[in-house]
Structure 1
Amino acid sequence: MQLPKRIDTVVIGGGQAGIAMSEHLTASGTAHIVLEKSRIAEAWRSRRWDSLVANGPCWHDRFPQLNFPQAPDDFVHHDQVADYFEAYAKHIHAPIFTNTEVLNVSKIPAQPNYLIETTQGTVIAERLVIATGPFQKAVIPSIAPKTSTLYQIHSDQYKNTQQLPQGAVLVVGAGSSGVQIADELNRAGKKVFLSVGQHERPPRRYRGRDNVWWLGVLGGWDVEKPNQGPLKGFAVSGAHGGQSVDFKKLVQQGITLVGMTKTFTQSHVTFQEDLAKNIHEGERCYLKLLDEADVFIKNNGLSLPEDPEARVMLEDPTCITQPILSLDLAQENIQSVIWASGFSYDYSWLNLDVLDEQSQPKHRYGVTDLAGVYFLGLPYLTGRGSSFIWGVWHDAKRIADHMSIQKTYLQYLPLKQHASTVE
C-alpha cells in the first residue's frame, strides 16, 4: 500500500487517539490516512514495564464497538491492550500506514493545504489531526545528579526489578507509575524510598462500584484542568486485581515515604518538608469523594452496600510525623533512582503556528487557530476523561463533528454565485 499524493485528512499517530479518529472520519465519509512511525499502539507494547496492567477495568476502558475478551472487571495487561487496539483497527478497517515516520509538516503558502513529509514519501492534506499523545519525551528534572555513580532511569525505561543493581532505590514521583513501581520493588525485597508530592488518591472501589463509575456519575470525568501549572499525581492502580493506593499502608509494608525531592549532592539527597501536607491533602480529597458518593446514593434512592472500612484512616507513621529531610546515599545504600517525573511534548517536526512559547499545543478542546489543524489525545483536552481510552474516543467524535461543520461553511455559495455556477 502506497501513500496517496493528496488526501482530505492526515492523522499523525496510530495509538488509541489515531484509531478513534479514524473511526469517526470513516463514519463522516472523510477520506483519510493514519501515519504511525512504528507499530499500532506501540507505546502500549514497548514503553510499559513488564507487569503493568490498565488502571481501569476493561468494561469501561474500551471503545464502544468492541469488548475486551477478558472478564468485564479485569484490569488488562498492557500487551493485551495493544492487541485490542490492533484488533479494533482491523475491525474498523482503519487505513493505517505503519513504520511511516513524519519528518516535517508545513503549510503550503496561499493554499488551504498542508505538506506532510514522511520516511515513505510526501502527502498533501487539507486537514491534519496531531494524535501523537502526551508521552513523547521523558522528563528528568534538572536537580538530577549529573556526575553520580547512581543508576538513574526514567519510569519510561523501567521494565522489571532485575534491571536494577543491588541496593536501595529512591522513586521520585507518587502518581500511578511511581506508586506501582515502588510497590513492585518493595515486594521484590528491595529497600524503597518513595518521594511524594501533591497528588489525588481516589478509592479503587467504594460501596460496590469502581472509581471509574463514581467519576462518571459524579461528573468527575468532565472536570477541566484547574490551572496552567503541572498536574497533580493521580495515584490509582489496577495491580493485584485493583486496590486503593494508601500511602500509610505502603509504609506498613516496608516503604519509607519522604517529601518532594529538593537537591542532590555527591553524598546526600534532600527533601521538602511537605510530606504530611501532601498526604493529608490527598486524604481530604479522598474523603470528599466518599461524601459526594454517599449523597448521590441517598438522592437517587440506590441500594448499595455500606463500606465503613473505606473511611478508616491509619495513624500517621513516624516518617510522616518526623519527616526525613536528608538521606546519606552511602549510609542508606541507595544505588538507584527512578524518576517517575512525567513527560513533555516533542513537536520538532511540526512547523506550524500551533505551539506557544513553551512549545505546548495551543488549542481549545483540540481545535487550533490554524484552519484544519487539530490536536487529539492530550491530557485534559476537554476534561479529565481525555487521558483515558474511552475519553479519547469521544474527543475524536467532537473533532470529526467540528470538521464536518467547517466543511459546510467552506462549501457554502451565496445564492447569486450559485445561480451563475449552475448556468
Structure 2
Amino acid sequence: MTDNITDIDTLIIGAGQAGIAMSEHLTSQEVPHLILEKKRIAEAWRSGRWDSLVANGPAWHDRFPGMNFPQKDQNIFVPKEEVADYFNAYVEKFNLPVQTGVEVLRVNRNLGTSGFTVETSQGTFNTQRIVSATGPFQIPVIPAIAPDIADLYQIHSAKYRNPEQLPEGGVLVIGAGSSGVQIADELQRAGKKVYLSVGPHDRPPRHYRGRDFVWWLGVLGLWDTAATEPGKEHVTIAVSGAHGGTTIDFRELAQQGLNLVGRTESFDNGVVRFRDDLTANIYAGDDNYLSLLDQADQYIERNGLDFPEEPQAREFLADPECMTNPILELDLKQSGITTIIWATGYATDYSWLKVDAFDENNQPKHHRGISTEPGVYFLGLPWLSRRGSSFIWGVWHDAKYIADQILIQRQYQQYNNEV
C-alpha cells in the first residue's frame, strides 16, 4: 500500500468478459475509467475450468459484436484457452485500460463528498463509480451434506482438470448441468465407472432443422425473457459444445455406460442416498426439449421457411433400467467409488464492497445492474436483465445499458459542477 491516491471517474472490478465489455462501452463514450484485475485477463477461462472445456455456443454467437474469433469456421465451439486469447486480443484491439495483479481489498462510500475510496493491493483510488464485474462464479459451493471420509477424494468441478488427476476407482458426479454432464461423460469415456446425480434441468436440442439452439432461442425471443420462471431459479441447462456440439440425451448416456441416479439427498456411514426423482427429472427435461421443437416448428411454418424436416428428433430411446428400477442408495466402498465431484454451483463474494447494495441474503439489489446504492453497478450476473445476461454476447448488451446510465449521471454531475 502507498499513500498516493489516484483519482478516476469509474473503476471496473474484474477483467473477464463483463469487465471488458463494460470498458469498451465506456471507452467509446470517452468516460475515464480503469479495470482492476487481481490475476490475468479472462483468468477464469484459463485456470477455472477443466482442460477439455469448449464454449457452449458456436463461435459466430459466443463473441462480442466488435470482433470475430480468428477461426475460419465460425460454427466451431472454441476451446477455453482460445476464448481467453480472444479477450486478450479484444483488450489490445480497443486499447482498453486494464491493470492486472491488483486486488481490490475494500470499497467505502466517501463521507461529506461524492464517490468512493477503493483500497487495493497496489494503492488507493478515489472514484465516482464502481462497476462490479466479478461475475457469479466466485466461491465454489459444496453442500453441507458432503461426507467426512478420510480416504474419499472430493473436489468441486472448479478444481477438476482431467481424468488423470483422479485416483483409481469409480466416480460420483453430483449435478447434471453443463459442467456435471460434460465431466461425467469425459470420465466414462476415459474408462471410469461413473454415477451421475441428475436434478431438475432444461434440455435444449443442440441442433434442430439445420440451426443451433442459440439461433432458435434468438429468433424465438427466448434469450430476451426478462425474468426467471417461478420455481426455476436453480434449474440448470444441460447443453454442451463438446464433440462438435451434441444434444445431451440422458438415455443415450445411460446406454453408453453412465449410471444415472436422482438428486443426492444424504450420506450416512459411507452410504449415499438419492431421491426417487430421476425419471421425473428426465421427463421434465424431455418436456422442455419438446417444447422448443414445437416452437421452432411453428416459427418455420409461420415464416414459410424451407428448413429440412427432422422427425427423428422427437424419437427417444427406451427408458434405461436406471429409470425403471432406480438406484436409491449406494455403499460407496462396495460400489468402488473413490471420488466425488461436486458440480453444485458457486456463491458470490462481495465482502470487499462495503456499501448498502445488498439484501438479507447478501445478494445485489439492482434493476438491470443499476444498484440501489447510487454509483454502484453490477454486471455479468445471471438474469441481470434477461436470460442471456451471463453469456458472452448478452453481457456486452447489458454493459451498453449500464454505460448509458453512467453517461447520464456524468452529465447531471457536470451540470451541477458548472452551476
**Aligned letter for 1:106?**
N
Change in CA separation of 1:229 and 1:207 when aligned onto 2, cut-off 3 Å: closer
1:240-251 equivalence runs, <5 A = 240-251=243-254
- Structure 1 residue 386 corresponds to structure 2 residue 389: yes
Provide the C-alpha distance between the structure 2 equivalents of 1:167 and 1:376, rounded to a whole number of angstroms: 41
1:76-87 equivalence runs, <5 A = 76-87=78-89
Report the equivalent of 2:46.
Answer: 45
- Structure 1 residue 302 corresponds to structure 2 residue 305: yes
Question: Which range moves more in the overlay, 282-291 or 307-316?
Answer: 307-316
Aligned residues: 415
**Aligned letter for 1:252?**
Q
- Structure 1 residue 144 corresponds to structure 2 residue 146: yes
State the shift of 1:178 in Å. 0.1
Provide the C-alpha distance between the structure 2 equivalents of 1:11 and 1:348, rounded to a whole number of angstroms: 16
1:295-374 equivalence runs, <5 A = 295-374=298-377
- Structure 1 residue 273 corresponds to structure 2 residue 268: no
1:10-409 equivalence runs, <5 A = 10-70=11-71, 71-223=73-225, 224-227=227-230, 230-409=233-412
- Give SS of 2:117's match: strand
TM-score norm. by structure 2 comes to 0.97
Contact 2:29 2:407 in 1 (8 A): yes
Provide the C-alpha distance between the structure 2 equivalents of 1:214 and 1:4, rounded to a whole number of angstroms: 50
Provide the C-alpha distance between the structure 1 equivalents of 2:367 and 2:189, rounded to a whole number of angstroms: 43
State the shift of 1:324 in Å. 0.8
Identity level (%): 59
Provide the C-alpha distance between the structure 2 equivalents of 1:345 and 1:290, rounded to a whole number of angstroms: 35
Question: Which range moves more in the overlay, 14-23 or 346-355?
Answer: 346-355
**Aligned letter for 2:13?**
I
State the shift of 1:149 in Å. 2.0
Deviations 1:147-193 (A, max 9, x none): 44210000000000011111110000000000000000000010010
State the shift of 1:228 in Å. 7.6
Instruction: In structure 2, list runs of 5 or more residues that go unmatched.
Output: none
Deviations 1:109-145 (A, max 9, x none): 1222101111110100001100001110000001100
- Give SS of 1:115's match: strand
TM-score norm. by structure 1 comes to 0.96
State the shift of 1:411 in Å. 3.7
Provide the C-alpha distance between the structure 1 equivalents of 2:346 and 2:407, rounded to a whole number of angstroms: 33
- Give SS of 2:371's match: coil
- Give SS of 2:388's match: helix
Deviations 1:365-413 (A, max 9, x none): 1001111110001011011101110000000000001112223333446
State the shift of 1:361 in Å. 1.2
- Give SS of 2:360's match: coil
Provide the C-alpha distance between the structure 2 equivalents of 1:381 and 1:199, rounded to a whole number of angstroms: 20
- Give SS of 1:219's match: coil
